[in-house]
Homo-oligomer: A and B are copies of this chain.
Amino acid sequence: MNYYGESVTRLIEQLSRLPGIGGKSAQRLAFHIINMSKDEARALAESIVSAKTEVKYCSVCCNLTDSDPCTICSSSKRRRDIIMVVENPRDMAAYEKTKGYDGLYHILHGAIAVTRGIGPEDLKIRELISRLDDSVKEVIIATNPTVEGDVTAVYLSKLLKPLGVKVTRIANGVPVGSDLEYVDEVTLSRALEGRAEM
C-alpha cells in the first residue's frame, strides 16, 4: 500500500512498529511530521538517536542517566540509609513526583516472570546486593502489586534479610479517592489485612 510515495510510506511503517501506535495513528503522526518545520523534524530525529546513544545505566542505582552516577545518587540532599527497589525507571519517576521520598532508589529493570523466562539473574539484583554496606538500614520493596511483582518481592526479601538489613514493602490497599464498590476483591482483602489503628 504505497499511496503516498516511498518515504512517507516508510515513515508510517516505522512509526506503526512503536507500541500502542496502530496504522491510523502512525498515518496521523506521519502527516504531522511532514507538516513540521525541517528544524523540528530534525530535532525529533536527533533526540531519538542521542537518547539511544548517550543514555546509560547509573553504575549505582541502574537508573537511566547521561552522567554517571545519576543526579539522585550524587545528590547531597538524599538520605543514604534507605533504598527503594522498583521495577523500572517510570516507577521511580512516579515516586519522585510525590515528593514524599528522599532516600535512594534501585532499579531492577523488570520483575521475575517465570512464564516469560525472566529469572533473578536477568534483573539488577547483583548490583543491589553490592550496595548493601553498613550505612544502608532499610530496603523498601516497591515492585508492582502483581503476581510478578509479588514473586520478586518475596524473592528479594528472602535474599536480603539474612544480610541483616531491614526489608519492608509498600502497602496494598484501596486507592485514595476510590469507591469501595468498584475496588476488586483482592485489593479489599489486602486493605483489611493491612488495617492500622486510628
Q: Which of A61-69, A112-120, A175-183 participates in binding chain B?
A: A61-69
Give the Cβ gap from A86 to chain B, nearest Cβ, in Å: 12
- Interface: A158 (CB within 8 A): no
Determine the distance from Cα of A63 to Cα of B140 in the docked complex, in whole angstroms: 58
| CB neighbours of A31 from chain B (8 A) | 88-90
Segment among A46-54, A76-84, A122-130 that sits at the interface with chain B: A46-54
Say which one of A33-41, A160-168, A187-195 lies at the interface with B: A33-41
User: Once the chains bind, are B8 and A33 in contact (CB under 8 Å)?
Assistant: no
Whether B92 contacts A3 by the Cβ 8 Å rule is yes
- Find out whether the CB atom of A46 lies under 8 angstroms from the CB atom of B45: yes
- Decide if B7 touches A50 in the complex (CB within 8 Å): yes
Residues in B with CB closer than 8 Å to A96 are 1, 3
Residue in B33, B43, B47, B89 whose beta carbon sits within 8 Å of that of A3 in the complex = B89
Query: How many of these chains are in the complex?
Result: 2
A51 touches B33 (CB 8 A): yes
Set of chain B residues within 8 Å of A184, measured between Cβ atoms: none
A48: which of B2, B5, B20, B33 is its contact (CB, 8 Å)? Answer: B33
Q: Does A131 reach chain B (CB closer than 8 Å)?
A: no
CA–CA, A19 and B54, complex, Å: 26
Within 8 A of B (CB), among A86-105: 88-90, 92-93, 96-97
CB distance from A21 to the nearest CB of B (A): 8
Residues from chain B with a CB closer than 8 A to the CB of A48 are 11, 14, 33, 41, 44-45, 48
Q: Could you write out 29 A-B pairs with CB less than 8 Å apart?
A: A1-B97, A4-B55, A5-B63, A5-B67, A6-B54, A7-B51, A7-B54, A7-B55, A7-B66, A8-B51, A8-B55, A8-B64, A8-B66, A10-B47, A10-B50, A11-B50, A13-B47, A14-B48, A15-B44, A18-B32, A20-B25, A21-B29, A27-B90, A27-B93, A28-B90, A33-B51, A33-B52, A34-B64, A36-B52
